[in-house]
Amino acid sequence: MDKIVSFRKEIPFNTNIYEVTSISLEHTIDRKDEVITGSFIVSGEYKVTEVSIDLLPYNFEIPFTIDTKLYDTKDADVVIDDFYYEIFDNKTLIVNIDVKLINIKDIPIERCNDMTNEIIDALDIKDTDTDPNPILNINDDNYVFYKVYIVRSGDTIDSIIGKYNVSKELIESYNDLSNINVGDKIIIPYEN
């Protein structure tokens, strides 16, 4: 599988840009664990006005980072797929660079589940059923109280229904249960 990662950078100039007469793109790439880092070097010459004889040089380094946690990039190639630019307000050069990751693979679903659980643990997210009292304490039959449950690895609709002692039909009236994944939030209504 291939993936395109797009970068857009606005580069302000101190002088007017009438015309870019030459432009080149070089890059450096460094791979570390789950991140690809590097720099784009955009350089060339430009004219300040239409009648300018002198060409002024420019050279900008643009650092970049590509997070590859969700992919196996061990055998992947990283290439520049597309590069184009535009001049904005005669003072800003906008460069657009598309990087193509060739031959990447999705990571196994088990690793995704482990990563989701690590994130939930790192954020110290707790089930909302630890506090049985709702935030709002309104004694009116027109209000519905609910809890928000974050689906974890190993959960099933039946296990969630059993945990909160509600019917599947009631949960379906608040949620689309056709495609539930780890990390999804489910609204669970309850009576106060």
* Total tally of structural domains belonging to the chain: 2
- Mean pLDDT for 145-160 is 83
Nearest CA to 83 among 73, 70, 96? 96
Average pLDDT, the chain: 81
* Final residue before a domain boundary, out of 106, 132, 162: 106
- Token pair for 147: 């809890």
Query: What is the mean pLDDT of the segment spanning 1-23?
Result: 92
Neighbours of 79 (CB within 10 A): 13
Shared domain check, 126 and 93:
no
Q: Are residues 70 and 146 in the same domain?
A: no
Token digits for 177? Answer: 């249960």
pLDDT score of 152 more than 60: yes
Q: 143 and 80, same structural domain?
A: no
What's the rounded mean pLDDT across residues 19-25? 93
Last residue of a domain, one of 61, 84, 106: 106
Verify that 52 and 136 share a domain, yes or no. no
Choosing from 71, 106, 141, the residue where a domain stops is 106
How many CA atoms are closer than 13 Å to the CA of 177, on its beta-carbon side?
16
Mean pLDDT confidence for 58-76? 85
Are residues 89 and 51 part of one domain?
Answer: yes
Domain residues for 113? Answer: 109-190
Whether residues 123 and 59 share a domain: the answer is: no
Regarding predicted confidence, which is higher, 87 or 120? 87
Assign residue 137 the CATH number of its domain: 3.10.350.10
Q: What is the pLDDT of residues 76-86, one digit of tens each?
A: 888 898 999 99
Residue pair 21/47 in contact (Cβ under 8 Å)? The answer is: yes
Q: Which amino acid does the sequence have at 176?
A: D
